[in-house]
Chains A and B, each alone.
Chain A
Amino acid sequence: MSTLLEVSGVSVSFDGFKAINNLSFQIAERELRAVIGPNGAGKTTFMDIITGKTKPDEGRVIYGEKSVSLLKMSESKIAQAGVGRKFQRPTVFEDQSVFDNLMMALKKTRSPLAVLFFKPASEDNDKVAALAEQIGLSAALYRKSGELSHGQKQWLEIGMLLAQDPRLLLVDEPAAGMTPSEREHTTDILREAAKTRAVVVVEHDMEFVRRLNCKVTVLHEGSVLAEGSLDHVTKNQQVIEVYLGR
């Protein structure tokens, strides 16, 4: 499998505090990867760098078969290039309906003129309906998304990501605030998504990660501590120390 994203030697500091320290990371096309690490390990900052929200002090971020550098691109250009992101705190547009949220996310030309003259074709409506079905929100399609429960908002956001049809999906703590059965459904969606694209999942919950059944990267103090199968990394002495305390 060819490499889709390569992060090498990246460092970021906030007011002298090194949140990311010489981090290197690779993910192949159609790979599912879990990223774990204690609070403040730099997991969210890592996603901020890939999606262009934070510019690193040094290092390279190379993406796609044309090996473009993401560091010179704006957030919207990176998203258009096929990097989708789900935030830690669910951020859907609460004042708008589930339908509008999904329609906005649907992969289409993003320029103001194209958007102004956009009219949804029936296949667009079908796509939105199918997505709503997949995330279990068919019945709530015309409700304001602000009225949804926390778990439903998480799903809506995942649905919006799928609607974007990205090549690389970055998912920050998707299962926070979900019931056990909702969590199970979420793992199914993510594993399904990883069949057609690369998916990076940040999660605290070990059970959740175990169910994803994929390669795991452990972050600590801004760099990679260990990498491999879940069983492999949980046997690692350093990982045990970081997680359980000395």
Chain B
Amino acid sequence: MTDAALPRRQPIALRFPSVMIFLAILALFTVGVTILSEGFGIGVISTSFIKTLGKTLCLCLVALAMDLVWGYCGILSLGHMAFFGLGGYAIGMWLMYARTEIIVLESLSAAPLPPTPTEVSDGIASQIFGVVGASEFPPVWAFAHSLPLQLLAVVLVPGLLALVFGWLAFRSRVTGVYLSILTQAMTLALSLHLFQNDSGLRGNNGLSGLQNIPGLSDTPQSTVSIWFFWASAVALGLGYLLCAWVVSGKFGSVIRAIRDDEARVRFLGYPVEAFKLAIFTLTAVIAGIAGALYYPQAGIINPAEIAPIASIYLAVWVAIGGRGRLYGAVIGAAFVSLVSTWFTGGQAPDINLGFYTINWVDWWTVLLGVSFVCVTLFAPKGIGGLVDILIDRKSPSRHGADLGPDQGALREQEAEK
């Protein structure tokens, strides 16, 4: 056996050209948008559209997480937008607290006596919780005054929830449809809880004014929006590298094996539940971080964002983009969410059929549903499958012959990639 037949350990960039291509496109996109922006460039792109693009990058990041857990590990989680929302709430609490604190201090500074800490705290509480008829801080706000602690919460709250939920579910070997239903139940329970006024997170009002970053009141939104756009791009780039690293080595081999035949993996001696739990928790943390970058750009978060349907949309994006490949998830999330913004924003021209006018704001969901069904039935590889078609052109055609030397081998048409 000669060494020549064995794989040389190449740098990750060379083994996975798609990673390099992706990062290059992301960098070009970021630079291009910056040049066209109002804040740092020639002002062709409006600030609100910069925010849309920044939010889209965050959605791409959570789609990456979804692809890792579903496309690679085979766990169809319909609850990852809950982790996304929790990340948003965690950062939103600090944003609201710190900004309200500044306002309260300003208004109290006019008073003859310097305000006591209790006065300040009460002032902030009544400002924030006035809408739900409360004037005291609920226990969940205990760390809201501290940015580092709330940043920790961005990671820990989704991570711990995923850890506990996943441990319970995987330990009892809940798989497939039942697991999906369970994640939906978790999502529904969480959003119903947040809808209540006494949840301590302002009920259906949610947290608002998140676009106003404390201490940056003099910086225009056109600048802040670009900063967040950059942060989102960096997070997406790093997230992509992390995911590519996770799926590239033996770990990737094992999780894909779990997706295809988890019983067999157990007989190889791998603790399947621990692997699933690791992936589930890691992706929940990524989702939380994506959410923490998304909501300051959106400006508002409320429990409707955590509704079960949001997580289903996430799965639809990944399916349309092509699951089981990282760039597929990114393409799916970017494409569908941008098209969705266009349709639901009322920009799409209505179609007048004479007897009925198709109003896209209402009909977009139907169109999305139909596309999802079509992709599932006719193009299971999604948009990412187009890349295969481009690359396959260059490889020699075997005219549909068997790939293996014997009968029963896969035929060329059946073999993937």
Which residues in A have some Cβ–Cβ distance to B below 8 Å?
A: 51, 53, 74-76, 79-80, 84-85, 87, 91, 93-96, 99-100, 103-105, 110-112, 115-116, 118-120, 122, 125-126, 129-130, 133, 138, 141-144, 146-152, 160, 164, 177
Contact = CB atoms under 8 A, between A and B. Distances in A.
B238 interface: no
B31 interface: no
A146 B410 contact: yes
A76 B272 contact: yes
Given A111-B271, A149-B405, A151-B406, 11 more contacts: A76-B271, A79-B268, A87-B264, A96-B256, A110-B271, A115-B254, A116-B251, A118-B251, A125-B6, A133-B1, A138-B5
Contacts of B3: 122
Contacts of A142: 7
B256 A160 contact: no
10 nearest A-B residue pairs (beta carbon):
A149-B406, A79-B269, A147-B403, A75-B266, A80-B269, A129-B1, A112-B278, A116-B251, A125-B6, A149-B404
A100 B252 CA distance: 10
A164 B268 contact: yes
Nearest to A87: B264
8 contacts: A76-B268, A80-B269, A93-B260, A105-B268, A112-B274, A116-B251, A147-B409, A148-B404
B220 interface: no
A133 B94 CA distance: 61
B384 to A, nearest CB: 15
A94 B403 CA distance: 13
Contact of A110 (B249, B269, B410): B269
Interface of B: 1, 3, 5-7, 9, 246, 249-251, 253-254, 256-257, 260-261, 263-264, 266-272, 274-275, 278, 403-410, 415-416
B415 A144 contact: yes
A104 B256 CA distance: 11
B406 A150 contact: yes
B274 A147 contact: no
A142 B269 CA distance: 24
B269 A91 contact: no
Contacts of A112: 251, 271, 274-275, 278
A66 B387 CA distance: 55
A95 B257 CA distance: 8
Greatest chain A CB density within 10 A among B253, B256, B408, B410 is at: B253
B404 A75 contact: no
Contact of A94 (B251, B260, B407): B260
A166 to B, nearest CB: 9
Contacts of A146: 410, 415
A183 to B, nearest CB: 15
A99 B7 contact: yes
Contacts of B404: 147-149, 152
B1 A130 contact: yes
A119 B9 contact: yes
B257 A93 contact: yes
A53 B267 CA distance: 9
Contacts of A80: 269
Contacts of A84: 267
B261 A93 contact: yes
A76 B264 contact: no
A76 B270 CA distance: 5
B274 A104 contact: no
B272 A138 contact: no
B409 to A, nearest CB: 5
A53 B269 contact: no
Contact of A96 (B5, B257, B278, B407): B257
